[in-house]
Amino acid sequence: MTLDVHTLNQGLLAGTGVLLVAILAVRASTGAGLPSLLLYLLIGVGIGEAGLGVSFSDAELANALGFAALIIILAEGGLTTNWGEMRPVVKMGLSLATVGVAVSVGIVALAAHFVFGMSWQISVLLGALTSPTDAAAVFSVLRRVPLPRRLNSTLEAESGLNDAPTVVLVTLVSASGHHGAASFVGEVAFELVVGVLGGLLVGFGGAWAMRRAALPSSGLYPLAVLSLSVLAYAATATVHGSGFAAVYVAALILGNSELPHRAATRSFAEGMAWLAQIGLFVMLGLLVTPSLITWEDVGLAFAAGLVLTLVARPVSVFVSALVQPMPVRELGFISWAGLRGAVPIVLATIPLSAGVDDATQLFNIVFVMTVIYTLITAPTLPLVARVLKVARRSEPRDLDVEAAPLERIAADLLMITISPKSLMHGVEVAELRLPKGASVSLIVRDGSTLVPQLRTVLRRGDELLVVTPRKTREKTEARLRAVSLKGRLAQWLNE
């Protein structure tokens, strides 16, 4: 097909239409407690052969575009991850991403081979494809669940770190089924080590250069940081290291370095990640041909999902916790919150493009399993959190905190929204007793702004702008959350 202006106009019309529908779908999926990926997949299926008749069956192109989207998604994950919150649980995250994945792959592979009668290659691939969790799926749902930061950070660390070893594993198994155990493990370890080293080099080197660069426009800084993250992937993959490990590590370093315009950089990365997710899921929906999915595929997907959800995932979580023990209730929630999303379906295109026997059936099984168990797991997460008593009642609904850096004075600007359930209602500004240097600078009430005095009484629906030195930001947030949860007496009620 020749690309001319008319074709461009038609492509832009279709593309922006799909994009706007997908953006509106985010609101609908959030209200239902489901990851937006399900609606994006449905849009893709609707556009495909089963709906409007658009044909798309190029597995190699889907694999390449899927990897490109995952690079952006992982870069955004690293840039928006708070290392201070992640550091206390990084051992658990690494354990889940390595030991946990290995245990889960082993259990699913054994069940697939001895119970479902699959070949060893397909069995190992099924375990490898379905074991990693997906950050986009996990956190689009967890925003609705008021969890302690430790749990959120653990799930975030796992989903950011487990893509790299899984990609290496799936690629090696798809390329050949005749690796010796020692050489196989050695190759995986080599790629991961090279990937981490490459990410460290680009991350620290890029941060050093960015702090000394005087770019003529603030809009160039987000482009430069995202380009550095992608550079980490490309450079490391070129020398046969794990590019996914490199891009996440580099982005994590860049996102937590004192760089100019950090807030703009994170906002830009989030927008690009949303665009990548929408394009990725719609494309994967196009790749699926519903008429080729048999009842046998659905049955295998359901049975394999039971093994994964009820056996492999819990065992892998509890084994991983040996390096960093956690309460049983929290481990139970982590087991149930292992949502799968784009990653398993994207990785399923690797054996498909490599021409592995029964790869089409494997892709169908993974697709069906992802949809079924997302529908089962995602809406029940708030209930499971309450039953296991890991939810922190009211906290996220009481306060919405956003930050924008004030670089010259090393301060952050926090925006706090007082919800109807917040006990901050009726509290005077002076009674907040914020840490030294922090202050409420502005209140937005009923569409009007007012400069608060010490005796100004806060009301439900108020939006507060609080300036805090960066070194005391965590204490300021903790104090605000405490007052929101316990009112003006929080200082004396075990703050």
Q: What's residue 399's pLDDT? A: 42
pLDDT tens for residues 260-306?
777 788 888 888 888 888 888 788 788 777 777 888 889 999 999 99
Average pLDDT over residues 152-169: 82
pLDDT at 106 over 70: yes
pLDDT tens for residues 322-347?
998 888 998 999 898 887 777 788 88
pLDDT tens for residues 441-464?
888 888 888 888 888 889 888 888
What domains sit in the chain, N to C, each tagged with a CATH number? Answer: 25-387 (1.20.1530.20), 395-489 (3.30.70.1450)
pLDDT tens for residues 163-179?
788 888 888 888 765 55
pLDDT at 241 over 80: yes
Report how far Cα 385 is from the mean position of its chain's Cα atoms. 19
Q: Which of 194-208, 348-362, 409-423 has the highest mean pLDDT?
A: 194-208
pLDDT at 410 over 80: no
Phi, psi of 110 (to 5 degrees): -65, -45
pLDDT at 44 over 70: yes
Average pLDDT of the chain? 82
pLDDT at 492 over 80: no
Phi, psi of 449 (to 5 degrees): -110, 150
Which DSSP symbol is given to 492?
T
Pairing mode of beta strands 439-445, 411-417: unpaired
Average pLDDT over residues 19-24: 78
Instruction: Round to whole Å and give the CA distance between 150 and 55.
Output: 45
Q: What's residue 397's pLDDT? A: 37
Q: What's residue 32's pLDDT? A: 54
Binned at pLDDT 50, 70 and 90, residue 491 comes out as low
With pLDDT > 70 as the criterion, what percentage of the chain qualifies? 87
Which pTM value belongs to this model? 0.75
pLDDT at 406 over 60: no
Q: What's residue 398's pLDDT? A: 37
Instruction: Round to whole Å and give the CA distance between 349 and 355.
Output: 10
132-136, 400-404, 410-414: the lowest-pLDDT one: 400-404
Binned at pLDDT 50, 70 and 90, residue 112 comes out as very high
Integer angstrom CA distances of residue 52 from 49, 102, 294 = 6, 41, 22
Angle between helices 243-255 and 149-161 (to 10 degrees): 140
Instruction: Round to whole Å and give the CA distance between 317 and 367.
Output: 24
Identify the helix (H) or strand (E) that includes residue 467.
strand 463-469
Report how far Cα 441 is from the mean position of its chain's Cα atoms. 33
Instruction: List the beta bridge partners of residue 466.
Output: 414, 440
State both tokens at 151.
């749990």
Of residues 494 and 116, the one with the higher pLDDT is 116
Nearest by Cα to 433 from 480, 471, 467: 480
pLDDT at 202 over 50: yes
H-type alpha helices, 115-177 = 120-130, 135-142, 149-161, 163-175
Of residues 3 and 158, the one with the higher pLDDT is 158
Q: What's residue 105's pLDDT? A: 92
Q: What's residue 27's pLDDT? A: 65
Of residues 399 and 313, the one with the higher pLDDT is 313
Q: What's residue 80's pLDDT? A: 83
Q: What's residue 35's pLDDT? A: 62
State both tokens at 3.
């690309």
pLDDT at 197 over 80: yes
Q: What's residue 198's pLDDT? A: 93
Q: What's residue 469's pLDDT? A: 85
Nearest by Cα to 119 from 284, 286, 355, 356: 356
362 and 413 in contact (C-beta within 8 Å)? Answer: no
State both tokens at 354.
């490599």
Average pLDDT over residues 218-236: 90
pLDDT at 209 over 60: yes
H-type alpha helices, 288-398 = 295-307, 313-320, 328-336, 342-347, 349-354, 359-377, 381-387, 395-398
Q: What's residue 403's pLDDT? A: 47
Nearest by Cα to 374 from 27, 28, 41, 20: 41
